[in-house]
Amino acid sequence: MSQDTIKNAMFPDCPIRQILSRIGNKWALLVFYSLVNAGKDSLRFKELQQLIPDVSQKMLTSTLRTLEEDGYVTRTVFPEVPPRVEYALTARAQSLLPHINALVAWAMENKASIMMDRKRNGGRYDK
């Protein structure tokens, strides 16, 4: 049984849980970060893949579809040969950025002490 199955067993229809599970995974946050810090308004799939080198094509595709479905990312297809597809953050995603930035700042401020605690406690949950 997967961890998600166990988590969703209690209150599976909770809208907050559903929203946080979609934007809180590592790939979604890395897509947000990549789109914000690319220095341009939109990115092509391959550009995103290069900025997130450890994401598989399948996982990036799935993440982008989910973010598009929830209104965080727009997907624009240009009628060219070969087709050009670009992804950009929506106003909804832009409004989320200050909260993501605050979370990143908190993580940076607390990283050293968290890593010390993790090491002291044996790092049992690093995997």
The pLDDT confidence band at residue 122, using thresholds 50, 70 and 90, is confident
Q: Where do the structural domains in the chain lie, given as residue ranges?
A: 3-90
Q: pLDDT of 81-92, one tens digit each?
A: 988 999 999 999
- Location of structure tokens 């399948």: 58
- For 98-116, the pLDDT digits (tens) are 998 998 899 999 999 999 9
Condensed to tens digits (0 to 9), the pLDDT of residues 18-41 reads 888 889 888 999 999 999 998 899
pTM above 0.85, yes or no: no
Q: Which of 107, 99, 126, 111 is nearest to 36 (CA)?
A: 99
Average of per-residue pLDDT values in the chain? 88
What does DSSP say about strands 73-78 and 43-44: parallel, antiparallel, or unpaired? unpaired
- The Cα angle at residue 125 between residues 116 and 105, in degrees rounded to 5: 55
CATH of domain 3-90: 1.10.10.10
